[in-house]
Each structure stands twice: as C-alpha cells, then as structure tokens.
Amino acid sequence: MGTKKTLGIGIVGTGGRGITCLGLRIVETCEETNFRVVALNDANSDRMREAQAYLTAKFADKGIETSIRCHTTDEDLVADPAVDIVLITTPQYAHCSNATVALRSGKKTYLDKPIAHTIEDAQRIVEEERAAQSPMLMGFTRRYEKPWRTAFDLIRDGAIGEPRMLLLRAVIPAHAYFHKFFRRREWSGGVLNEKSAHHFDVFNWFAQSAPLQLSALGGQAVYRPREDAPQRCSECERECPYRVAPRGRPSKHDPDALFGESWMQEDEERLRHDNCVYLPGADIVDHATVQVLYENGITASLFLCVFGPGAHDGETFEIVGTSGRIILNRHEAQLDVVSEHGKKQEIIDCRNEDTASSHFGADLELVREMHRWHDGAPPTVSASDGYLATRMSLAAIQSLTDQGKVVALLDHSIHVE
C-alpha cells in the first residue's frame, strides 16, 4: 500500500488567525489530514519569516521535516505547484484581491470571516466564486463548534417545537477591536461586521429563512476618544484595564509562543496591534442591539457589548420554540433544554477533548472539514452565506447611524448571470 499523498497548504496573511489559530491546528492534525504548510505570504516580510520559523519548529516537534517557502506576493504563492489549498487570513480590506487571485487559479480557497469590509467587495467575491465553479470554505467558527451543532440538531428533530424567537447575547472583553485595524470601518467594516458577522450567520442558520428587515441602536459608551490619549500601549505607563502586552508571549493555546514580535515595529495606525483604545479616529461601536425579522416570522435579537468583563457566560444563545427553549452557553459548552411545555428539563454537556483548543475546538473541526471539502464534500459555509452576513452587518450600521431606522433586506439575494 502506497504512502498517502500530503496536501500542501499556502497561507496568505501570517497574523494570529492564520498562524497561531489555523496554522497550529494544521500541525496538530497533520497525521490525521496529511496537511503540510508549504508556503506563506504576508505584506510584512519580518512577520512572514517569524511565521516560517514558528511553524517549521512546530512540525519538527512532531518529527516532521518541512520546507516552507516565503512568497513576496499572493500571486506567487497561488502559483506555487506545492500549494493545493489557499488559506486567506488577511484583514478584510485585502480579502477581495486575495480571493480573486486564489479563485481564478482553480485551487481550493478558504476565506476567513467576514467575507469583506464593503458590500461591493463581498459581491465581487461571490461572483468570482461562481465563475470559478468551486465553492469556497468560510470560517464562521460557530458552525464548527459542538454546542451550536448539537442545538441545531435538537431543533431540527423537534425538541422544542417550531422555533419562533432567537436571542444572542455577547458581553465580552474585546477591546482588541479598538487596538487594531478593526477600529475604522474603512478597513474592517466595523465591529458589527468583524464580530457580529458570526452572529448574523448564526441567526440565518437557525432561522432557515430569509431576513426581511432589521433595526439597530448603539454607539461608543466606554472607548470614547480622548485628546490626551497616547498613540499606543507600548508608550504608555498609565494604569489601564485595556492595556495589551507585547506579542509573542505564551498563551493558553500556545504555551511556547515565539511568534509575533514584529508587530512592535509597526508604526502605521492601520498596522499596529496596540493602538490606545482612546486614540481618536475610531468610528466603530462598542455596544449595539439589533432586531431582525425573518420571512417565516422568526424574530432575532442581538445584544452586543465589547467592553464587558471576562465571565463564564460571555456569549449565550437562546432559542424559544412553540413547546420549549434552549439556552446555549458558549464558554461552558453547555445546553440547557426545556421541552414538552416545561415538563422536561436537561443539561447537555457538549465538552470533549477539543473544547480547550482555540475557538472552543472549532478550529480543529474546521481543519478536518477542510480535508473533507478538498476531497469533494460541499462546504458547511460558503460565499453566499458570507455575503448575507455582511449585508446584514452593514445594514445594522446603516440603521444605527440613522438612529434605529428600519432597513429593508429584500435585496439580499444575489443574482449572477
């Protein structure tokens, strides 16, 4: 019996998402998937070299010798004959260009969420995907987490009757959105796109219907601009709960971290990872509420706060049906299910050996799905799902800007000849 062929992964964008989330998970599952990271591309050559050394060492820890090439352009990476799958984990403002290059090559293309920072770029990516006749795989992590999948299966099997109301509450300490490029909508589409594209995708997944309209309220309650703010944390000595440490330090997902020191050499606001949260210029919100109405009558509510404390119930999702309800606690990987009109209640523990990994095990499952998708399985989430989530995200920002005005979503469908 011959040796199983290895599959080459090329990563465009060597920041934390591409390397210490997905890259490290690729290393951990490489004996299972036969994946190898073979090529990297990043606008910052120092960071790309850091990533090359980091992943080479991680593969070596597993007894696997690798040759990871660094390419100066995404075109060169995509043209590399060793690359079978292209992973795009760059900032949103680069997604359209990167995805176009990858899709036109005919190679399998993974794109991290959100699909883009503007509706025009999102539309172009969908068009490129359809022209390529090769569905992309998108990284909406909740689609790969066990509690969310279990809850969806319970609803599909009628455990709480017909779902009628959805409530997603995210109260999280996510001041990183004001430290990095996310802080300006022109670069990220804003928090309601970068973070809540996840949430809107969950609503669409569980509603199994088309969104008709939404409205939103919110603003900046805590991370308000201050004229005396320093440019970045690294040049500030004040006591502040929102300070960030230099990159490259150990974390719970990578106790031997040696990656990321190059971030400290960035001078441009768009590229720095430690902008002061109070630095003027941020035009994103730090809290919002959004209401969505679906074609089948389901209503969905989002309660978002990114200045919240770290807590065991940072993100919860409640689904109310005609005969029961489910409350999902993401951080606890637990479901509280009440059924039969209140006659029955059970707690379902969804934790497994993967839960302690990044994104509660979703990244490991995503890498495994990547292998199945390469072999011909349809993707769980693709470009049209990404488009709709960003359409809703940007509509929420529009509504919020117009003081809660209802925004119609009747034009959410994509028609490409």
36-71 pLDDT per residue, tens = 999 999 999 999 999 999 999 999 999 999 999 999
- 191 pLDDT higher than 50: yes
Q: Which residues of 92-107 are buried (b: 16+ CB within 10 A; e: fewer)?
A: bbbbbbbbbbbbebeb
Are 103 and 134 a contacting pair, CB within 8 Å?
yes
SS3 letters across 254-313: ECCCCCCHHHHHCCCCCCCCCECCCCCCCCCCCEEEEEEEECCCCEEEEEEECECCCCCC
- Top pLDDT among 105 and 267 is at 105
Distance CA 404, CA 215 (A): 5
Predicted local confidence at residue 248, as pLDDT:
54
Q: What is the DSSP letter of 186?
A: H
pLDDT band (50, 70, 90) for residue 2: very low
- Look at residue 250 and tell me whether its pLDDT is greater than 60: no
Give me the residue spans of the domains in the chain.
Answer: 7-141, 142-223+282-408
| CB-based contact 359:147 (threshold 8 Å) | no
Question: Would you state the pLDDT for residue 256?
Answer: 58
Residue with the bigger pLDDT between 234 and 202: it is: 202
Torsions phi, psi of 400, nearest 5?
-60, -40
User: For the stretch 291-309, what's the b/e string if a residue is b when 16 or more beta carbons lie within 10 angstroms of its beta carbon?
Assistant: bbbbeeebebebebbbbbe
The answer on pLDDT for 341 being more than 60 is yes
pLDDT at position 257, please?
A: 55
**Does residue 393 contact residue 197 with C-beta atoms inside 8 Å?**
yes
| Contact between 292 and 213 (Cβ < 8 Å) | yes
Min mean pLDDT across 23-37, 183-197, 252-266, 327-341 is at: 252-266
Closest Cα to residue 85, out of 168, 6, 165?
6
Contact 115, 127 (CB under 8 A): no
* Per-residue pLDDT, 262: 81
Model confidence pLDDT, tens digit, residues 87-146: 999 999 999 999 999 999 999 999 999 999 999 999 999 999 999 999 999 999 999 999
Q: What is the pLDDT of residue 399?
A: 97
> What rounded mean pLDDT belongs to the chain?
93
pLDDT score at 416: 34
Pick the CATH number of 142-223+282-408 from 3.30.70.1450, 3.30.360.10, 3.20.20.70, 3.40.50.1110: 3.30.360.10
Q: Is the pLDDT of residue 400 over 60?
A: yes
Please write the tens of the pLDDT for every residue from 153-189.
Answer: 999 999 999 999 999 999 999 999 999 999 999 999 9
User: Which pLDDT does position 362 carry in this prediction?
Assistant: 97
pLDDT at position 179 is 95
Right CATH number for 7-141 from 3.40.50.700, 2.102.10.10, 3.40.50.720, 3.20.20.140? 3.40.50.720
pLDDT band at 408 (very low <50, low <70, confident <90, very high): very high
Residue 414 confidence (pLDDT) above 50: no
Q: What is the tens place of the pLDDT at every residue in 298-337?
A: 999 999 999 999 999 999 999 999 999 999 999 999 999 9
User: Sign of the C-alpha dihedral, residues 232, 237, 242, 243?
Assistant: positive
| C-alpha–C-alpha distance, residues 358 and 356, integer Å | 7
Secondary structure letter of residue 407 according to DSSP: E
Distance of alpha carbon 16 from alpha carbon 402, whole angstroms = 35
